Structure 1
Amino acid sequence: MENLALIDSFSEFKDDKLIDRVTLMAILEEVFRNALKKKFGSDDNFDIIINPDKGDLEIWRNRVVVADGEVEEPNEEISLTEARKIEPDFEIGEDVSEEVKLAQLGRRSILALRQNLISKIHEHDNTNIYKQFKELEGEIYTAEVHHIRHRAVILLDDEGNEIILPKDKQIPSDFFRKGDNVRGIIESVELKGNKPAIIMSRANPLFLEKLFEQEIPEVFDGLITVKKVVRIPGEKAKVAVDSYDDRIDPVGACVGMKGSRIHGIVRELGNENIDVINYTNNLQLFITRALSPAKVTSMNINEETKRVEVLLRPEEVSKAIGRGGHNIRLAGQLTGYEIDVLREGAEEDVELKEFSDEIEDWIIAEFHKIGLDTAKSILEYDVEDLVKRTDLEEETVKEVIRILKEEFEE
């Protein structure tokens, strides 16, 4: 098989892999040099001439003419008799260039060449895909559900690139079917071996930030800045926004009339409850806003320990803590401060844990979940309200109230 014919047969990969001719030729030279090293021990004395326009390739071996019987390095030296078979007027000490035909490499080497070329082209493609997606890290991307596994959903984009959406990067309420289009951010791109591993996330706070950029024109245009996003995926999120233009209300612009602007984002995130908050450098005011919808009576900030004690009226405590403690946890993450809640009049109260000899720990934990951790905080509610707000039976609630009331009887 002639060199040109073999290259033409190789070049079928160009169309399949969308690899340009020049790159293909560069890969070809590398592949051929590897084959020459294997065959002759070295490729240093070989010239490989490639014509990218014609797709032609020539291999020439350069050797020095030595006297008959004095050839020590057959790859670098040629005897006078052998040299004169190429050109009759060669003399000792001259350089001889001889074309090497692919047939001289042997059928097995040619098959290995082809396999090596395929491998190099795949490697080239994977490197390009890695670079392409590395530049997309942190950006929103859409792909189609191809396969659903126990620990991950496998997506394919329009180019057939595989993207992995792991279970822990999904929103808990996410439910996908094959063929569904899925949006998320490209969270990370790594080369595992020679294959890029592209990881998508819908749980990352950055996904919510990028949705704000996509869905709210003022954020996209830079008129409103998203300062910080914290979230418990699928449950609750807090987004601090700011504007350098006093004429723009950043919260109003993000939420829209009756929530019209933020509704699409909420739906995308599985009805995640999103609080949009006006950012401020005034720490006390920022903490107050972060604890919304609770109304703060007063607070004591310790900037060294990054803790703040917040005093609240008893009826505001459960609002500040929120369902499952989500509100106070996110407020702490948003402000960077550990928030301790104190009730007005708490000095006359008794911590619920003090009753652990009479009330089981799991029952105390149920009350803690809704922000009730003192005796008086529970006694402010009637039995029916407490049954609705907890997972406790009516008889259990009645028994707890009886025990607590005894504490305050004279």
Structure 2
Amino acid sequence: MDSGNLIESFAEFARGKNIDRPTMIRILEDVFRTMIRKKYNSDENFDIIINADKGDLEIWRFREIVDDNSEDIWDDDKISLSEAQKIEPDFEIGEEVAEEIKLEHFGRRAVMTARQTLIQKVKDLEKDILFQQYKEVVGEIIIGEVYQILGREVLLIDAEGNELILPKNEQIGKDRFRKGDNARAIVHRVEMVNGNPRIILSRTSPVFLERLFESEVPEVYDGLINIKKVVREPGERAKVAVESYDDRIDPVGACVGMKGSRIHSIVRELQNENIDVINYTDNLELYIQRALSPAKISSIKIDEDTDRVSVFLKPDQVSLAIGKGGQNIKLASKLVGMEIDVFRELSEAEEEDVALVEFSDEIEGWVIDELKRVGLDTAKSVLVLTEEDIVRRTDLEQETVEEVFRILRQEFE
């Protein structure tokens, strides 16, 4: 293969990979200089001239002429007078010889190796470009087409045919994909594995919900409304705290839209995830009340030293504060950044009640903790319910609940 064909074929390959001309020339020069160093030990006294458009290559070697008996004759940048005069009879000591080195001088094997090296360098560069391209858009929404569904991940391709990965743990539980579907997600992270870029997507990240608000609510996109914090149980429930920089704009109303028009499209994208939009405030008590919505709170005690909040509610509000599977209180705690404990507000009749912790010598601690988790912290708060209610609302076995009821009833008999 001559130099023209080598450079022309490489240039065509590089252009197909969207490699710009200066980078193409740099790669060519790096490879040819490597060939020169292998054959001549050094490339310091060589010039390489490349015209990739025409497929032209010129390699020139420059050496100073010294006397045949000079000690410098063995230097790579020196040439003896007798050798120089074989090139041009008129040469004299001290002059510089410019000798053109043809690609054929390196041997067929070296040229074929150079061709493979050029192709590999472009592929490596293409991987680096892809890595940097996606590194710059981490946290942004991307749309990909599903082309393969595996047990632990879904593979998508972007508009340029690059592979994207949506792992199982980054999918919403209700997500169901089919080949050819378009899927929206954020670029969660980008990593290099064995020299290959892995682009990991996510639909469960709070950032994904934040970006959906930006795309659906112009005031959020324009910066008039700021999303302070997003917490999620993906596919189930989310809480979004928002504030407005313009007193004329109601941040909650703007995010929800007329008759819920704006929030509905986000809810559908998230497989009917229930989204609570909350007006952020610096007033911690008010913020906690809003975070526990729709429950109505009677009173709050805040212990800032331990980052714990004790919230007291009427009996009919306890289950609302806790929510299905404890989701509401868990998300509210994450939103305000404090651990929230829920307590029933006792009526006069209930003041004769007995706290469950008083039974710790008869009822195991983990059983009491499980009852308290669903807002049952006194004997009477348990006994007003049926055993079936307790089994349904907690993770306790039927036999355990029966034993708890037996112990508590004995107290009041």
Instruction: Compute the TM-score of the two structures, normalised by the length of structure 1.
Output: 0.90
CA distance in 1, matches of 2:372, 2:343: 14
Aligned partner of residue 260 in structure 1, secondary structure = helix
- Tell me which residue corresponds to 1:309: 310
Aligned partner of residue 74 in structure 2, secondary structure = coil
- Tell me which residue corresponds to 2:412: 408
Q: Kindly tell me: are residues 302 and 399 of structure 1, through their superposed partners in 2, closer, same or farther at Cα, counting changes over 3 Å?
A: closer
- Tell me which residue corresponds to 2:375: 371
Residue 212 (structure 1) shift: 0.6
Q: Tell me which amino acid in the other structure corresponds to 1:379.
A: L
In the alignment, structure 2 segments of 5+ residues that lack a partner are none
Number of residue pairs matched by the alignment = 409
- Tell me which residue corresponds to 1:154: 155
Aligned partner of residue 65 in structure 1, secondary structure = strand
**Quick check: 1:381 aligned with 2:382?**
no
CA distance in 1, matches of 2:115, 2:28: 10
Task: Tell whether the 8 Å contact from 1:2 to 1:101 is kept in structure 2 after alignment.
Answer: no
- Tell me which residue corresponds to 1:270: 271
**Quick check: 1:249 aligned with 2:250?**
yes
Aligned partner of residue 262 in structure 2, secondary structure = coil
**Quick check: 1:328 aligned with 2:332?**
no
Residue 156 (structure 1) shift: 1.1
CA distance in 1, matches of 2:164, 2:13: 24
Q: Kindly tell me: are residues 363 and 302 of structure 1, through their superposed partners in 2, closer, same or farther at Cα, counting changes over 3 Å?
A: closer
- Tell me which residue corresponds to 2:6: 6
CA distance in 1, matches of 2:261, 2:362: 50
Aligned partner of residue 407 in structure 1, secondary structure = helix
CA distance in 2, matches of 1:40, 1:46: 10
Deviations 1:334-370 (A, max 9, x none): 1112212222227644344655676677866764553
CA distance in 2, matches of 1:301, 1:102: 80
**Quick check: 1:49 aligned with 2:49?**
yes
Once structures 1 and 2 are overlaid, which stretch shifts more, 125-134 or 399-408? Answer: 399-408
Deviations 1:40-85 (A, max 9, x none): 1111111011235534221111112233365743632222222112
CA distance in 1, matches of 2:325, 2:283: 28
Residue 193 (structure 1) shift: 4.5
CA distance in 2, matches of 1:150, 1:14: 36
Q: Tell me which amino acid in the other structure corresponds to 1:378.
A: V
In the alignment, structure 1 segments of 5+ residues that lack a partner are none
- Tell me which residue corresponds to 2:129: 128
Task: Tell whether the 8 Å contact from 2:228 to 2:242 is kept in structure 1 after alignment.
Answer: yes
Once structures 1 and 2 are overlaid, which stretch shifts more, 171-180 or 98-107? Answer: 171-180
Once structures 1 and 2 are overlaid, which stretch shifts more, 378-387 or 225-234? Answer: 378-387
- Tell me which residue corresponds to 1:111: 112
Deviations 1:163-195 (A, max 9, x none): 222222222222222222111111112333432
CA distance in 2, matches of 1:119, 1:351: 73
- Aligned-residue sequence identity (percent) comes to 62
CA distance in 1, matches of 2:246, 2:28: 59
Residue 388 (structure 1) shift: 5.4
CA distance in 2, matches of 1:107, 1:189: 40
Q: Kindly tell me: are residues 108 and 310 of structure 1, through their superposed partners in 2, closer, same or farther at Cα, counting changes over 3 Å?
A: same
Residue 251 (structure 1) shift: 1.4
Task: Tell whether the 8 Å contact from 1:25 to 1:55 is kept in structure 2 after alignment.
Answer: no
CA distance in 2, matches of 1:238, 1:227: 11
Task: Tell whether the 8 Å contact from 2:319 to 2:374 is kept in structure 1 after alignment.
Answer: yes
Residue 299 (structure 1) shift: 0.9
Task: Tell whether the 8 Å contact from 2:45 to 2:77 is kept in structure 1 after alignment.
Answer: yes
CA distance in 2, matches of 1:36, 1:16: 28
